[in-house]
Amino acid sequence: MIRTVLFDLDGTLADTAPDLAFALNETLRSAGREPLDYATIRPVVSHGGGALLKLGFGNSVAATEFARLRDLFLNTYLTHITRATTLFPGMAELLAAIEARGLNWGVVTNKPAWLTDPLMAGLGLTPRAAAIVSGDTLPQRKPDPAPMLLACRQAGSHGAECLYLGDAERDIAAGRNAGMRTLVALFGYLGADDHPDSWQADGMIEHPLQLLRWLDGDNV
């Protein structure tokens, strides 16, 4: 029986790509480079800031310059962290439905807490979340199961009582390693090189409200 639903943050709970794309393109402009199309940036968002900077600047940037660009990118993003970010369509209704069933929910993300916390607060979700575990809450990060198990403890559930929804292979691996049921968020930031059918998730959903079938036991 599922008592807790846990979510990845970027590309699952919240559509953060517009603000991350804005921060990347502002960083590119500051370096005299042309901005990238949103469609090019979106599939890379779930892989973090380092991957986005490599998308924009390639691998030829010196380490010191890369560090400077990373700081500029992250500070720009923090300043505009809820400029255009919203919950995915149907996600607000899903959270309300989870709560109406007497269940709780939380977030496990590889995003550092100094970005996770203002984002969750800006979306008005912090008081409602039974667990918030960021990428630097523990020494381990997804796909390690440790952050997942910490979220379970915060939410008062065991791994087998949790369902995890994510849009990256490491999300599914982390959930499986923690003994959770797992679902792929096909509405998230999957790219052409992603093959979610090979991730061994329990299922895949194309809209947040389809998760309710799994809570109701109608998952065939």
Q: What is the pLDDT along the chain (220 residues), one digit of tens a residue?
A: 999 999 999 999 999 999 999 999 999 999 999 999 999 999 999 899 999 999 999 988 899 999 999 999 999 999 999 999 999 999 999 999 999 999 999 999 999 999 999 999 999 999 999 999 999 999 999 999 999 999 999 999 999 999 999 999 999 999 999 999 999 999 999 999 999 999 999 999 999 999 999 999 866 4
The whole-model pTM stands at: 0.96
**Active-site hit among 8, 167, 171, 194:** 8
> Could you say which DSSP state residue 195 is in?
-
State the total domains in the chain.
2
Domain containing residue 155: 4-15+85-215
Q: Does 193 map to a domain?
A: yes
* 8 classed as catalytic: yes
* 117 classed as catalytic: no
Check whether residue 69 and residue 90 sit in a common domain: no
Burial class of residue 149 in the structure, from the number of CB atoms within 10 Å of its CB (0-12 exposed, 13-18 middle, 19+ buried): buried
Task: Round the CA-based radius of gyration of the chain to a whole number and report it.
Answer: 17
Q: Does 140 map to a domain?
A: yes
Check whether residue 159 and residue 69 sit in a common domain: no
Query: CA–CA distance from 62 to each of 65, 72, 95 (Å)?
Result: 5, 15, 44
Three-state DSSP class for residue 45: helix
